[in-house]
Chain A
Amino acid sequence: MAERKIHEDQKYIDGLAQNNALVIRAVYDKFASKVIHYICNNSGDRDDAEDIIQEVLVIIYEQARDKNLKLTCPFDAYFFLLCKRKWLNELKKSSRKAVTTEDENVYRNEEAEILVTETDVSVAKEKLFEVMFDRLGKACKELLQASFRMKSMEEVADTLGITYAYARKKKSLCIGKLTDMVRRSPEYEKIKSS
């Protein structure tokens, strides 16, 4: 596949990754009204729009910070499509009806669809890890939380009252367990093939 060109709106992505108040404000000022309009015309209200926008901004923030998100379409298109899909999912969950409006095609942007699909896969994977982490035993959960919160494994060993060597070994086995659970879940296959 040819190299995908980065859109100049990447500045918004970078600004969000930097937790930059001016950029966050600019996103609201420029792009929120379209989302509010869409949700209000689609069985939702302003409170729903407020929640969806916040959740989507956190998703973009994490994609930018951790996955080095490169924007290959206008920010508007990416942001709107993420909000729209998230809202349609919410509607599905609450079995409220979605109203499909005719002007929907106006917002179609192929690059944005590709990018949003990538983001969706990444979010679905995240969710799967979250669910599986929750199913780990208490000891593993504690050890992993400590391992990733604290600066060193010495500190972890001290806090949990175990030896350093055991803490290290246990950490790899617990991540191994998580790896195993994720790979063996039917959900994993579904995400992989999407």
Chain B
Amino acid sequence: MEKQDYILFEDYLSGALSTSDRQKLEARLQSDKELNAWFETYREASAYLERTFGKAEDTAAFRDKVSGISEEYFRKQERKPRVRKLLRWQIAVAASVLILLGIFLSRRMTVPSYEDYAIYPEISLVVRGEENAELYRAETAFNHKNYEEAARLFGEILREDPAHAEISLYYAIALVEQNRFGEADMVFAGLIGSRSVFRTEALWYGALSKLKQKDYEACRELLRKIPDSSANHTAAQKLLKRLPE
């Protein structure tokens, strides 16, 4: 390929060609298959460089997040205690104790509480190479269970970026923790009505909000909408069975 052609390709891709020069090149690309093939590879080379150098920080941020979550996942699994095998008579004794206890406590124990279910994973929203002190403060507050501060900060972030689904979800959870149900349920409803990947998470945490409000009917309604494919489906089914009429 001629040097001049590469310069032309670059000018074309960066939009620096005049209309007539652009049309001239397009006509040549149409009629000259060989030139077209080189142009396509030039375009691919340029896209490769953009990915490798232009988006290197994004990829590093993703790698960081994945490696953190991976670490958590694999170490957590290793820590899982082995289930000790019980002898038959031990099982029998344990079972009868449980039955007795069950008779005494059944009334109190069958009503599930919000606290049984409200277990949040540690969140990590801040990505490397991104300077966002506010987000970092919000994340830290949330992870330290300082929900008042977290809700305030998430609220501020959402004022600037109201469509941010992940932050909306944590914002709503922080509100539920402070019993600010009206505000929380509105945020959940927004997420549930959206096509966001957080839709089913919002169904689950929205249901927990209703559970905390002891509005079992509304809780049931949300739980039933959680699809089979969701990670929360099994928990939702169990909770459904435990809810009082």
Is B178 among interface residues, defined by CB-CB distance under 8 A?
Answer: no
Give, as a whole number of angstroms, the nearest-CB distance from A39 to chain B.
12
List of B residues within 8 angstroms of A144 by Cβ: 49, 53
Is A11 among interface residues, defined by CB-CB distance under 8 A?
Answer: yes
The interface residues of chain A, by DSSP majority, are classed as: helix
Alpha-carbon gap, A65 to B56, bound state (A): 12
Query: B124-167 CB contact bits vs A (8 Å, 1 = yes)?
Result: 11010000000000000000000000000000000000000010
- The size bracket of the interface on A is 35 or more
Cβ contact within 8 Å between A175 and B124: no
Cβ contact within 8 Å between A179 and B42: yes
Q: Which candidate, B6-14, B21-29, B181-189, is the interface stretch facing chain A?
A: B6-14
Query: A15-53 CB contact bits vs B (8 Å, 1 = yes)?
Result: 110111111111011101000000000000010001001
Give, as a whole number of angstroms, the nearest-CB distance from B235 to chain A.
12
Alpha-carbon gap, A25 to B122, bound state (A): 11
Is B119 among interface residues, defined by CB-CB distance under 8 A?
Answer: no
Cβ contact within 8 Å between B10 and A168: yes
A32 closest partner in B (C-beta):
B73
Cβ contact within 8 Å between A172 and B7: yes
Cβ contact within 8 Å between B197 and A175: no
List of A residues within 8 angstroms of B41 by Cβ: 179, 182-183
25 chain-A/chain-B pairs, Cβ below 8 angstroms: A9-B229, A16-B62, A19-B62, A19-B127, A22-B169, A23-B197, A54-B70, A61-B62, A66-B51, A125-B44, A126-B51, A133-B52, A147-B49, A148-B52, A148-B54, A149-B54, A172-B10, A172-B11, A173-B6, A175-B6, A175-B9, A175-B45, A175-B49, A176-B42, A178-B49
**Interface residues in chain B, defined as those with a beta carbon under 8 Å from any beta carbon in chain A:** 1, 3, 5-7, 9-11, 37-38, 41-42, 44-56, 58-59, 61-63, 65-67, 69-70, 73-74, 121, 123-125, 127, 166, 169, 197-198, 201, 229, 231
The 6 A-B pairs at the shortest CB distance, nearest first, are namely A176-B6, A172-B10, A148-B53, A129-B48, A28-B73, A15-B197
